[in-house]
Structure 1
């Protein structure tokens, strides 16, 4: 599932933002800069919505620290600071987009969707593709050419996560946190089980041989540009 982090100290506004984008992914709220930075450092998010005027640590400081640590999660700044100088500073520090308050509900949704498409490699029709394997994110369906593959549920999420992070080593811990969550009642060995199932279902595709197991580390899907 797509994970979104909202760092906003006004709790009513934060809850409103969560309600606006709740159907786009799992939304986590943080109410000060230090808490938000820790959350962004400790977990993998697909997009961060960041206020600038935060207690304990400003949004600029949070953003600068993330980029300094090479955490490249896309960041959408949401702020009442609307001067050109503020916008330039935001982009210079590594923001991907900048939206001033008050904002229109639909504009926020459109900007979030655009950033997610860009960062996750989605096509306009909400699909991901790796060679002949196509994941329809709306239908939660996997196809090779016109054949629908029996990949569903957590196995589908695992496949999507691999494609989104092709060329990157993913540890078992990262995969477990992303797909099941560390508060899950299952254990981390479930990663190996689902990876085995996924490989079997992809056996006849051109993708299967590109999923590598890195002993005592995790997995790597070889990068491919189609």
Structure 2
């Protein structure tokens, strides 16, 4: 399960992200700036968004409302120190599915995540994606050329997964770099082009059937 955690309290964010990974076994991306959350939530797939009410840049309740107005169907848990009834009503009316008051125990957050994951918020994720001669299992993260498994590095698979989930959309190098490596990574932008080249080679994509298209001066897109 993929979780997007938006929490600007560094100590709480680090602890929560760590325990969600360790105790829940979830894939967690952690953001501290409110103005980043909307683009992250809409560009990639997350099963649950854990969203702090008070964030720098844009408040969580505003982000929640904006996501729902744009048709976002993922589950959203609002975290806040605001425990008044009217505040809870505002959060739920903005589109939150659940509401957890700080301070909270991570075990309770995990229980609420499990409860929300049993509800059907988004269309069922396609398990197998077929692209020409390539089969990608999005559940167990395996890639096959016919009956032969293609061994991808974690970065290469993340890149392929990002392309699949945003097929037909142009992804700029900045977005790809941020989502796969993160801006704090000590690598150059040329790493993106090198990784795309290796991915194309492993997928045996010739110039005639290359579905990963270069967009001059911008980035790449997956075109089926």
TM-score bin (small chain): 0.5 to 0.7
Q: 2:196 — aligned with what?
A: 195
Q: CA deviation at 1:167?
A: 1.9
Q: 1:174 — aligned with what?
A: 175
Q: Is 2:166 the counterpart of 1:161?
A: no
Asked if the contact 2:91–2:99 (Cα under 8 Å) also holds between the matched residues in 1, the reply is no
Q: 1:134 — aligned with what?
A: 136
- 1:153–1:27 CA distance, 2 compared to 1 (3 A): closer
Q: 1:21 — aligned with what?
A: 20
Number of matched residues?
A: 205
Q: CA deviation at 1:107?
A: 3.4
Q: TM-score, normalised by structure 1?
A: 0.66
Q: 2:98 — aligned with what?
A: 98
- 1:27–1:192 CA distance, 2 compared to 1 (3 A): closer
Q: TM-score, normalised by structure 2?
A: 0.67
SS in 1 for 2:210: helix
Q: 2:185 — aligned with what?
A: 184
Q: Is 2:96 the counterpart of 1:108?
A: no
Asked if the contact 2:214–2:220 (Cα under 8 Å) also holds between the matched residues in 1, the reply is yes
Q: Distance in 2 between matches of 1:74 and 1:214?
A: 30
**Mean Cα deviation higher: 177-186 or 98-107:** 98-107
- 1:189–1:100 CA distance, 2 compared to 1 (3 A): same
RMSD (Å), alpha carbons = 4.2
1:34-183 matched pairs, under 5 angstroms: 36-40=33-37, 46=46, 48-52=49-53, 54=54, 58-64=59-65, 74=74, 76-79=76-79, 86=88, 90=91, 93-95=94-96, 97-100=97-100, 103=108, 105-109=110-114, 111=116, 118=122, 122-123=125-126, 127=127, 129-131=129-131, 132-138=134-140, 140-183=141-184
Asked if the contact 1:171–1:218 (Cα under 8 Å) also holds between the matched residues in 2, the reply is yes
